[in-house]
Amino acid sequence: MHEEVKHPCVQHKLALIRNKDTGYKKFRELATEITMFLCYEALKEIEVKEVTVQTPLAEAAGHKIANELVVVPILRAGVGMLEGILGLVPTARVGFVGMYREAGTKKPVSYYHKLPKETDGGTCIVIDPMLATGGSTAATIDFLKEQGAATIVVICIVTCPEGIALVETEHPDVKIYTASVDDHLDDRKYIVPGLGDAGDRLFGTR
């Protein structure tokens, strides 16, 4: 399952972040801003439990997020979305998964992980700006499921039909929120039109 967030504020910022002339400072700011909007959408279906609070006047019924939230950026580019998501859910824990696409095969290679113990039974929000072939995201979801994650949601800035199909086939229980499902992958497995290499553009390594 996936949802493209068509809100005009998201689409406005998406056009700016795609622009090849947007430098890394502005690119980072836009990644943070877009992530906040996407995260707001993604959390609308999160499980809550009923609570009662005492106002100065009376008791009021309310809701509280039911499970521990664990945000999981996929290194390296996922770090560019961390500030935005923690701006909305500052009490979330953070677990890191390191993956890179092997130059020839484009298959994900795992090189690091450090998760909080609350991943077991928790709600994990995987963040990565690019869901291209879907390999890195699907491998991260496999790993989180092995660690006992109860619910997993993916937030990416841009994706494409190939990546969506892979994740939806392998993990039909995981919902993907994105600002855009783009047209296709090119020969190098880059998203077209996409926004280029997100890690390089975020961190100025181009």
Binding site for ligand PRP (CB under 6 A): 74-77, 99-101, 106, 108, 128-137, 163, 189, 198-199
As a whole number of angstroms, the distance between CA 129 and CA 96 comes to 15
Q: Which of 105, 142, 169, 183 is catalytic?
A: 105
151 versus 178: smaller Cβ distance to ligand URA = 178
The full DSSP string for 129-145 is SEESSSHHHHHHHHHHH
Evaluate whether 101 touches 107 at the Cβ level (below 8 Å): yes
28 is catalytic: no
Out of ligand PRP, ligand URA, none, what residue 191 binds, judged by CB under 5 to 8 A for its kind, is ligand URA
As a whole number of angstroms, the distance between CA 46 and CA 65 comes to 7
Q: Which of 21, 32, 101, 140 is catalytic?
A: 101
Evaluate whether 125 touches 81 at the Cβ level (below 8 Å): no
Out of ligand URA, ligand PRP, none, what residue 136 binds, judged by CB under 5 to 8 A for its kind, is ligand PRP
Out of ligand URA, ligand PRP, none, what residue 194 binds, judged by CB under 5 to 8 A for its kind, is ligand URA
> Taking the C-alpha atoms of 125, 10, 28 and 74 in order, what is their torsion angle to the nearest 10 degrees?
20
Is residue 130 involved in binding ligand URA (CB under 6 A)?
A: yes
80 alpha-carbon distance from chain centroid: 10
Kind and range of the H or E element at 120? none
Sole window of 83-91, 147-155, 164-172, 195-203 interacting with ligand URA (rule: CB under 6 A): 195-203
Residue from 71, 81, 115, 132 touching ligand URA (CB under 6 A): that is: 132
Short-list 75, 89, 85, 181, CA closest to 131:
181
Give the shortest CB-194-to-ligand URA separation in angstroms: 4
Question: Which residues make up the interface to ligand URA (CB under 6 A)?
Answer: 77, 130, 132, 190-191, 194, 197-199
Active site residues: 101, 105, 197, 200
